[in-house]
Structure 1
Amino acid sequence: MTFRTLFLFTCNLLLFSGCAIKEPLLRQNEPYAPSTQSLVQNIVPQNIAQDDFTYRYYKPWFKTHLSHKKEDASWANKSYGIKGRYYGENLQLIGDDEVDALLKSTNFEAHGSVNAHAIMLQNEQMRNLPTHKPFFKKTTLPGEGYPFDYLQTSRIHIAEPILISHYSRDGAWAYVESSFAAGWLPSNSFVWLDAKERTPFIKALKIAIVQDNVPLYNAKQHFVSYAKVGAIFPIENEDDNFFYTFIYTKDANEEASKLTLFIPKSFAKKVPLEFSQESIHQLSNTLLGEKYGWGGYLNNRDCSAMTRDFLAPFGVWIPRNSAAQKSFGEYISLKDLSPKEKEAMILKHGIAFLSLIYLKGHIMLYAGEVQEKPFVMHNVWGVKTLENGKEGRDIIGKAVITDLYVGANQPNVPEASLLINRVEGILVKPTYATKNNLVSKYPSVKAIKDNNVYFMDGSTLPYDDKQAKHFDELLENADIEDMFTQTYPAFFPITPPTLNDDPGRFRNDAFLKKLYGESKKEIEKNLTEVIWLPNHGAKKLKFNQNENAAMQLQKVSDELDRLPEKYMKYLKNPAGTYAYRPIAGTSRLSAHSYGIAIDLETSYSRYWRWDKTYTFHNEFPKEIIDIFEKHGFVWGGRWYHYDTMHFEYRPELFESID
């Protein structure tokens, strides 16, 4: 028997043994928990993938800098540097000298000094401090001790992208950011990649692992690592039985070396996986029964890791912890409702195996209903108990499907501990609520409520006119909601945009007038001077000071001013900023009319209206574009109707800006 045949046989054996229906093994008198087979019967096949899944997953590779400043990144030094509070693996207090040495090793004086892009070579536990040793609280306290290691922050997959901040003093660890978490990883768990090595990962079609602990083998049939549900790999090739993918390893010189892998098609599916009965049944059954792992402890999952990994194959990215996940989309509060009212709202709004049900410190995947009763799938440690006035835990310790009344038949479980009484709300469908950016990015915007945008002066504008529009209508008559129709690909590699992909060209004039001035006279009152390239000519440019626009352009200017001299030819002679005029060929006001756009040197520019061949071409270096995007400016070179010299302040289209 060849290795290939033996491998396929072994893989199929593993697959079918892992797909047996698992029932949650709670106490016999707990409420009945249905199988996933019965819960998925009403699932309608559909595509639920987010348009920006690739961007969110590979976001660390699009960054030119870290998201967190040193003071924020080093929070764990303050929280876990308190002496006499934490216990080690021997259940004894950790000594002061050990704590001091650990804090010193974090080397946060070097924060942001590396700023290198890398990829994970293996599955790894991300830590809050650079050590694998645990920090437990007093084990006699309820809900403390094993497995609640306070230095455990998350688990990260093989082949996952990261951005490196800096190394510990001994070089054994690195502080990094992934797409969903930041913390410490062993230095031997990743390898640096340059832009040429990163681009194939981003551009390729993807597969997601859909069976836990899949062994990965290279072309020489040597074992490489295991992959878990939620891991994402690029597709290089495929045949009837295998996907051929690749990762990187370290060679003898610590450089990246490409390694081809082959993965059986029974263990991986193309992203996005169709949201169907078959796929949900397979994914849920491979996750059910997994032991609980606080923050990914021992490479197991906790509640939020389970929801993240379950949704990833469908092309749905969600943040790391329960509090962040419940805010990632349309959230309905259930806080002041009775148990029956909560159940009714969950049944009314919940989408089986997509909606998330939240209570403080815990998140659950809504799993559908049986006999008008909602069920949830969750990885849970246990249920609070109370006996003779002493709090304890009734341990479940694994991923299960239950109703919201777990423990209701147990005399030692108080009513207040029941899930139904602790449920605070439901996230109907995970998707980044871009409208929140209006509030967070524009000081004049107070809130968005009841389909209205509320401004600090008490005025309002409608948010969504509820009209379906084709491309030309979006250009001519965009409402505020329409401005978010297309995702802006910040920091992406520069490639020709696809047909009518113009993120940032849909503008609502009423909104812009409210922010920057209702008339030419009012706009001009709001203009201030930006010193352009202080050490290379110090030209004075007019820009709107409202909504921090001029301040952000000054940040761009100051950072561009520090670039090497070879970049100055693109920057020294900008074509202009404020100019009250319509967009060429239209009656709509241009962004220049509001004083929120700048055009760079025209001799290096390409504009779709000027080009007879209508062929995208760009001469502006990506280093310049990255700096503009870092501070909230969209680039006209990201548009199908390209204008490569044009940069426009549109912070609402960025998840975060400096």
Structure 2
Amino acid sequence: MQLVVNKRNLIWSYLLVLTPVCMGIFGCKQGVEEATKIEVELYTTSDLDYPEDPIKITNGVTENYLQNFFLPWNLSPEQVVDSLDSFPGKNLSYLQNYLEDDEWYGENKKPHKRVLREEIVENVELGTFPNFQKKGIVIAHTNLRRIPSNRPGFDTYSKAGEGFPFDYFQETNLWANTPLQLLHLTNDKQWCYAVSPYYKGWVALHDLAIVTDDFISAWKTGHYAMPKSDAVNLSDPSSNYAINAKMGMVLPYENSTKGEQILAFYTNADENQNAVILKAAIDKDKVALADFRFEKDKLKILVSNLIGRPYGWGGNLENRDCSSMIRDLMATYQVWLPRDSKDQIDIGQQFELTGSLEEKMQLIKAKAIPFQTILRKKGHNMLYVGENERGEPLIFHAIWGLKTTYSNKKLATYLVDYPLEGIHHDEDGALKGRHILGESVITSVLAGSGNEGVTRPLLDEIYTMTNILENLKP
């Protein structure tokens, strides 16, 4: 395997805060510390180790995927309410915690005012739960929220790794065509508390529609196509409503009179918010059908369509975070993964990673399987995709940034009175920040090493891995 390195493969970052602060604030004329250069080596899709032979995705695996995906429709409203605590996500009681917490910061970098928090909670009217027990479907790519509001909830902006994009009220994105069990409407009829296949939480009512048993029967065709990119346009000639399909989105379909096309289903709502089925003619080569093989040429297409895409915490702005990128990649083969990164690691055969960096690398190289193994550090999942020419494990992951640690007493003193977004003075006396990558990239597990100690290799914090297909086989 040949290592490809060019200008695009190197990300250069300079800490330029120190110089202007020292020159402009302290009037320093000499002794200014030289900026630290941070380098992260990136790889291309040609550098990866793909399966030598196609991997068989069994019928049992795809049946498990569809069972999980359609779960909100397969349960009765009574079953959902009785088992509500077992679904991932925040219960309605979370609203009381939000009401009493003065430390949530908004888009204006100021705390959420009590009066505005009261408006949100009073709009729910908890005493009437559940007041809207119906089945529904997502009709436009949307967000599932912890509170019935699009207002973000950030931690302290000046703290490294906080502020944008880490809106903690964002649970997950929901692609169109996602089944829902609807439970509770806000008083203003703009938000609905719902159970999705991934999380429970609040969805904007204008992004969903109500379904009937007849709709569900027509929708479950038994044939499901999975988009191979985020650029598959769905447009019905009889409607002015169209959307782009997303990788990870499930498209029921029927055969077209044109052999090279299928008629993919998507939805819109009528004036009463009831779902109607629309059908878009799309070329078969734009989607993964039942014969889509888990092999080099197909995987390379999928990775190429994901690499370089912006990072999106909780899937915000229709982007992907670490777990949703891996989920959507595997969903193309109808392999079910939970949405939450800590839940994904419990799927399959797990191995603990302890000891030195070299010991960890040796275990990864011995047990990990390209495109089938997830590596994990706290809060972040990575997909193992082979080795580079130096024998270092490679990972494909959607990442915000690498932790940075600097030391400068004068700047630390300045930060006490004049906080800077993204840099904070830690208890150990060091300045903590982030070197932003902000997208889906392919790196070595040693990414972060060799930067004068400012960044640590990712492998330092990787503590476990799982082979996700091992226990999914029937």
Per-residue CA shift, 1:603-657, capped at 9, x if unaligned? xxxxxxxxxxxxxxxxxxxxxxxxxxxxxxxxxxxxxxxxxxxxxxxxxxxxxxx
For 1:119 and 1:272, locate their aligned partners in 2 and report how far apart those are by CA, in whole Å: 27
In structure 2, what residue type is equivalent to 1:181?
Y
Distance 2:272 2:198 in 1: 30
2:447 aligned residue: 406
In structure 2, how many angstroms separate the alpha carbons of the residues matched to 1:80 and 1:284?
Answer: 39
2 CA distance for matches of 1:206 and 1:323? Answer: 28
Post-superposition CA distance 1:423-456 (Å, at most 9, x none): 01111124767xxxxxxxxxxxxxxxxxxxxxxx
d(CA) in 2 for partners of 1:405, 1:169: 52
Contact between 2:227 and 2:286, CA under 8 Å: does it hold in 1?
Answer: yes
Residue by residue over 1:331-380, the C-alpha shift from the partner in whole angstroms, topping out at 9 and shown as x without a partner, is 1111x222111111111211211211111100011111233221000000
Of residues 39, 59, 64, the one that matches 2:71 is 59
Distance 2:355 2:128 in 1: 50
SS of 2:116 mapped into structure 1: helix
Amino acid at match of 2:95: N
- Residues 1:132 and 2:150 aligned together: yes
Q: Quote the offset at 1:265 in angstroms.
A: 2.4
Distance in 2 between residues matched to 1:311 and 1:147, nearest whole Å: 25
Residue 250 of structure 2 corresponds to residue 232 of structure 1: yes
Q: 1:37 aligns with which of 46, 56, 61?
A: 46
Give the letter aligned to residue 200 of structure 1.
A
Of 251, 260, 266, 1:241 maps to 260
Give yes or no for the alignment of 1:331 onto 2:327: no
Change (3 A) 1:392 1:42: same
Give the Cα separation in 1 of the matches to 2:108 and 2:383: 36
Task: Please state how far the C-alpha of 1:138 moved relative to its aligned partner.
Answer: 1.6
Give the counterpart letter for 1:169 in structure 2. N
- Does 1:68 pair with 2:72? no
Q: State whether structure 2 residue 11 is matched by structure 1 residue 26.
A: yes
Determine the structure 1 residue equivalent to 2:297. 278
Name the structure 1 match of 2:113: 95
Shift of 1:23: 6.1
- Which residue in the other structure is 2:178 paired with? 160
Q: TM-score, normalised by structure 1?
A: 0.59
3-state SS of paired residue (1:73): coil
User: Quick one: structure 1 residues 107 and 264, their matched pair in 2 at CA, closer, same or farther if it must change by over 3 Å?
Assistant: farther
Q: Distance in 2 between matches of 1:401 and 1:314?
A: 21
Aligned pair partner of 1:190 in 172, 191, 208: 208
Which of 413, 437, 445 is the matching residue for 1:396? 437
Larger RCO, structure (CA 8 Å, separation 6 or more): 2
Q: Is the CA contact 1:149–1:294 (under 8 Å) kept in the aligned structure 2? A: yes
Q: 1:369 to 1:215 in 2, by over 3 A?
A: same
2:9–2:42 Cα contact (<8 Å) kept? yes
TM-aligned CA distance change 1:284 to 1:110, over 3 Å: farther
Structural mapping, 1:189-588, within 5 Å: 189-220=207-238, 222=240, 224-238=242-256, 239-271=258-290, 273-334=292-353, 336-371=354-389, 372-388=391-407, 389-415=430-456, 418-430=457-469
2-structure distance, mates of 1:228, 1:24: 27
2:234 aligned counterpart, secondary structure: strand
Q: CA deviation at 1:102?
A: 1.3
Alpha-carbon spacing, 1:116–1:301, altered in 2? closer, same or farther (3 Å): same
* 1:565-600 Cα distance to aligned partner (Å, 9 max, x none): xxxxxxxxxxxxxxxxxxxxxxxxxxxxxxxxxxxx
Show structure 2 runs of 5+ residues with no match: 1-5, 14-37, 408-429
Q: What secondary structure, in the 3-state scheme, does the structure 1 residue paired with 2:11 have?
A: coil
Aligned-partner residue type, residue 201 of structure 2: G
Displacement, 1:310? 0.6
1:151 and 1:88 map into 2 onto residues whose CA distance is 11
Post-superposition Cα deviations, 1:473-510, rounded to whole Å, max 9, x if no partner, equal xxxxxxxxxxx96xxxxxxxxxxxxxxxxxxxxxxxxx
Matching residue's letter, 1:426:
M
Q: 2-side partners of 1:232 and 1:169: how far apart?
A: 32
- State the alpha-carbon separation in 1 of the partners of residues 338 and 356 from structure 2: 29
Residue identity in the other structure for 2:186 = S
Give the residue type in structure 1 aligned to 2:446: Y
Q: Is the 8 A contact 1:31 1:405 kept in 2?
A: no
Aligned AA (1:39): L
DSSP-derived class of the 1:341 partner = helix
Q: Distance in 2 between matches of 1:174 and 1:272?
A: 38
The amino acid across from 2:65 in the alignment is F
Q: Deviations over 1:163-191 (max 9, x none)?
A: 11111121100011111111111111111
Q: 8 Å contact 1:358–1:426 — kept in the other structure?
A: yes
Contact 1:119 / 1:160 at 8 angstroms: preserved in 2?
Answer: yes
The alpha carbon displacement at 1:282 in A equals 0.8
The total of aligned residue pairs comes to: 412
Does the 8 Å contact 1:22/1:289 carry over to 2?
no
- Which residue number corresponds to residue 47 of structure 1? 56
Q: 1:175 aligns with which of 193, 203, 225?
A: 193
Partners of 2:55 and 2:294 within 8 A in 1? yes
Paired residue type of 1:182: K
Corresponding letter in the other structure for 2:349: E
What is the TM-score with the length of structure 2 in the denominator? 0.81
> Displacement, 1:111?
3.3
TM-superposed CA distance for 1:414, in Å, is 4.4
CA RMSD of superposed structures (Å): 2.4
Query: What is residue 419 of structure 2 aligned with on the other side?
Result: none
Task: Return the alpha-carbon distance in structure 2 between the equivalents of residues 282 and 80 of structure 1.
Answer: 43
Q: Is the 8 A contact 1:122 1:190 kept in 2?
A: yes
Gap change, CA 1:213 and 1:105, over 3 Å in 2: farther
Secondary structure in 1 matching 2:99 = coil
Give the counterpart letter for 1:154 in structure 2: T
- Whether contact under 8 Å (1:272, 1:315) holds in the other structure is no
CA distance in 2, matches of 1:354, 1:374: 13
Q: Distance in 2 between matches of 1:271 and 1:111?
A: 41
Cα 1:364/1:129, change in 2 over 3 Å: same
Distance 2:47 2:275 in 1: 47
Q: Who is 1:119 aligned against? A: 137
Contact 2:90 2:200 in 1 (8 A): no
Q: Distance in 2 between matches of 1:149 and 1:243?
A: 38
The residue type paired with residue 44 of structure 1 is D
Question: Is residue 125 of structure 2 the alignment partner of residue 107 of structure 1?
Answer: yes
Secondary structure in 2 matching 1:88: coil
SS of 1:423's equivalent in the other structure is coil
Deviations 1:80-124 (A, max 9, x none): 333320111111221111111112223333334433211111100
Structure 1 window deviating more from structure 2 (36-45 vs 52-61): it is 36-45
* Inter-CA distance 272–332: structure 2 relative to 1 (3 Å threshold): farther
Which structure has the larger Rg over C-alpha atoms?
Answer: 1
| Deviation, structure 1 residue 150 | 1.2
Q: Is the Cα–Cα contact under 8 Å of residues 392 and 446 in structure 2 kept in the other structure?
A: no
**Quick one: structure 1 residues 42 and 276, their matched pair in 2 at CA, closer, same or farther if it must change by over 3 Å?**
closer
